Amino acid sequence: MQRLLSFVLRNAGSLLALGGGILALWAFFFLPYFSIEIWVAPLHASTFFSVHDVSVTGAQLASNSLPAFPLHPGEGIVNSGYVPLEDAYGGGEEFPFLWLEPLVAVMIIMLAGVLLLVRCKSVMTFWPWLSIRLLIGIALFTCISLLARYHSELGLPLVSYSWGFWVFLLGMGLEVLGGVLLWFSHRERRVLTR
Give the predicted TM-score (pTM) of the model.
0.79
Q: What pLDDT does residue 92 have?
A: 47
pLDDT for the residue numbered 154? 62
Per the rule left: phi > 0, alpha: psi between -120 and 50, beta: everything else, 158 is left
Q: Residues with Cβ < 8 Å from 54, sequence gap 6 or more?
A: 35, 36, 37, 38, 66, 67, 69, 81
The span from the CA of 26 to the CA of 101, in Å, is 12
- How confident is the model at residue 120, as a pLDDT? 55
Q: Which of 185, 193, 177 is nearest to 10 (CA)?
A: 185
CA distance 186 to 121: 12
Q: How far is the C-alpha of 34 from the C-alpha of 161, rounded, in Å? A: 5
SS (HEC) of the chain: CHHHHHHHHHCHHHHHHHHHHHHHHHHHHHCEEEEEEEEEEECCCCCCCEEEEEEEEHHHHHCCCCCCCCCCCCEEEEEECHHHHHHHHCCCCCCHHHHHHHHHHHHHHHHHHHHHHHCCCCCCCHHHHHHHHHHHHHHHHHHHHHHHHHHHCCCCCCEEECHHHHHHHHHHHHHHHHHHHHHHHHHHHHHHHC
Each residue's pLDDT, cut to its tens digit, for the chain (194 residues) gives: 666 656 666 788 888 999 999 999 999 999 998 888 877 777 766 567 777 788 888 888 888 777 777 776 777 766 666 666 666 555 545 566 788 889 999 998 988 888 888 765 544 566 677 778 888 888 888 888 888 877 776 666 777 888 999 999 999 999 899 888 888 876 655 544 55
- Distance from C-alpha of 66 to C-alpha of 60, rounded to nearest angstrom: 6
Q: Chain-centre distance of CA 65, in angstroms? A: 18
